[in-house]
Structure 1
Amino acid sequence: MSPAPAPVIAQRFPGRSVLVTGAGTGFGAEIAVRAAQEGARVGVHYRSSKDGAEKTAARIRELGGEAELFQADITSWDDVKAMADAAFAAFDGLDVLINNVGDVAREQMSWRDITEDSIDHVLDVDIKGTMFCIHEFGARMLDQGHGSIVNIGSTVIVRGSARAPQYAAAKYGILGATKSYAQAFAPTVRVNVFAPGFIETEATLSRQDWQTGRGDTLRKLTPMGRIPGPAELAGTALFLASDDAAHMTGGYLVADGGYNMVGA
């Protein structure tokens, strides 16, 4: 079998600004780099992984792009307000926000291991933190007269999660927040969910269950026959922020290799 051709990277964001939360590692880092490849000036947010954020910024600058770092704990409303003010000042407005930060309770291998602390943390980060970002950045986008927000969701809301019910509950919450703010901000600011299936990030590949057969099982159950890395899905996430998606708001876009086959 001949290798797949290299992807054609369109210039969908020349002169525009894109801020990606959690861009120091994993999927967020790849979205940030892909945005730069497509011509965007990029905001790289991090909470504690400053080294990772600086590496992402260095990758962007190596491409000839512009990168600005922003530190915030998104579970703090004051932090999010300060980050939004700083980003709008740095870029003289902001065109796109990608809410990538989320906690999947990765270390929990069974629903039997759930704790109240874990429930609180996952809901705080995934729902409250995402809502703070939508609220603050979206309000400023309304004032400037345009903008697009993409919340990174998950296909876990299709099938649930016997392993980590709090994670599935949190992603359902993001869908509800997305639809609510999509209505509140329309038609000026669009708000959508991008829902990837399984992604082979470094964190996923290091999981015990992934290494002991789960990865192989899921590949067999996926019609496309493989689990992609984060770079492959970065452009799909950014599609929802592009002009090609100009009539989409309150939407839920799935990219899971056919694993769930969601639809009518």
Structure 2
Amino acid sequence: MSEHLIPRRFVGKNVLVTGAGTGYGAEIAVRAAQEGANVAVHYNRSAAGAERTVERIKDIGGDAFTVQADISRHEDIRAMAEQVFSRFAVLDVLVNNVGDVAPEQMSWRDLTEDSIDRVLAVDVKGTMLCTHEFGSRMLEQGHGVIINIGSTVIVRGSARAPQYAAAKYGILGITKSYAAAFAPTVRVNTFAPGFIETEATLNRQDWKAGRREKLISQTPMGRIPAPGELAGTALFLATDDARHMTGVYLNADGGFNMIGA
């Protein structure tokens, strides 16, 4: 999208994006800054990537800083919350983007207990604890929006990585539960991108072996977008136009699943 076409929906707002050192999270963070937000860029191990995201934001005149945490650990999340609220005073939007997709696993036959534990710890436990910790503070400040990044994998499941599909389905339960608990002060929604061509996706064995072409042939829109194209779509859920939306599952997959009533 050309810069002059990007709306300014978050001028003066403070946004935290988890997993923003690489991939989709980095694009959400940059897009939020392009729309006027001050951005906290979370990472766990991708310190260099997080710094690159901050530099991209500063290059366009935005304000950003990095914050490190292992979101599978509640004490790390508490420390991150202290740092973010100390810097911002108020947090308007949390995007829970970070997640483990078990990229090394190419078949359900390769499932390991360690992989199950890791994916559930990050995708379910991490998302729940971030929603709980930051949402509680948003309640105290009197407003806020939480966007949990889900996946369209919940529609068909995953023969490749069942633990990933299970984890992403769990995010729906987290979203609905906290949407009910926090209403009407804090809205909580799930945004699910379909297949997007992040660097990690492009490097996957199955993607290189013809899966990309097969998926494109099954997608009515006829293409797989880059992550930046869907960054603004996720952030829509934090805008005033979405102020009557909470507990929802919104997807953008080019028509691949055609879900709905």
TM-score normalised by L of structure 1: 0.97
**1:48, 1:204 → 2: CA distance?**
19
Question: Which residue number corresponds to residue 246 of structure 2?
Answer: 249
CA shift digits 1:105-126 (9 cap, x unpaired): 1111000000010000000000
Partner of 1:114: 111
Pair 1:185-2:187 in alignment: no
SS class of match (1:43): strand
CA distance in 2, matches of 1:155, 1:249: 18
The letter for the 1-side match of 2:132 is: H
Counterpart amino acid of residue 197 in structure 2: E
| Deviation, structure 1 residue 6 | 3.9
TM-superposed CA distance for 1:229, in Å, is: 0.6
Q: Distance in 2 between matches of 1:196 and 1:151?
A: 11
Q: Which residue is 1:168 aligned to?
A: 165
Per-residue deviation, 1:92:
1.3
Residue identity (%): 73
What residue in structure 1 maps to residue 221 of structure 2? 224
Matching of residues 65-76 of structure 1 within 5 Å = 65-76=62-73
**Aligned pair 1:32/2:47, yes or no?**
no
* From 207, 212, 216, the counterpart of 2:209: 212
How many residues end up aligned between the 2 structures? 260
Q: 2: distance between equivalents of 1:87 and 1:143?
A: 15
In structure 2, stretches of 5+ residues that fail to align are none
Query: 1:6-31, CA deviations, whole angstroms, 9 ceiling, x for partnerless residues?
Result: 47210000000000000000000000
User: Take 2:86 and 2:92, find their aligned partners in 1: how far apart are those partners?
Assistant: 13
Secondary structure, in 3 states, of the residue corresponding to 1:253? strand
Does residue 98 of structure 1 match 2:89? no
Report the equivalent of 1:79. Answer: 76
The structure 1 segments of at least 4 consecutive aligned residues displaced by more than 6 Å after TM superposition are none
In the alignment, structure 1 residue 45 sits paired with structure 2 residue 42: yes
- 2:195 is aligned to 198
In structure 1, list runs of 5 or more residues that go unmatched. Answer: none
1:129 corresponds to which residue?
Answer: 126
Root-mean-square deviation (Å): 0.8
Aligned-partner Cα distance in 2 for 1:99–1:241? 12
1:161-218 Cα deviation digits (max 9, x unpaired): 0110000000011110000000000000000000011010000001111011000000
Q: What is the distance in 1 between the residues matched to 2:42 and 2:241?
A: 26
Question: Shift in Å at residue 83 of structure 1?
Answer: 0.5
Q: How far apart are the structure 1 equivalents of 2:158 and 2:245?
A: 28
**1:234 and 2:231 aligned:** yes
Q: Does 1:60 align with 2:57?
A: yes
In 1: Cα distance, 2:223 partner to 2:198 partner? 13
| Structure 1: distance between partners of 2:33 and 2:259 | 31
- Work out the CA distance in 2 between the residues paired with 1:190 and 1:54: 30
Q: Residue 228 of structure 1: SS of its match in structure 2?
A: coil
Q: Structure 2 CA distance, aligned partners of 1:251 and 1:88? A: 27
Aligned letter for 2:60? L
Distance in 2 (alpha carbons) for counterparts of 1:238 and 1:190: 13
In terms of mean alpha carbon deviation, does 7-16 or 205-214 score higher?
7-16
Equivalent residue of 2:54, what SS?
helix
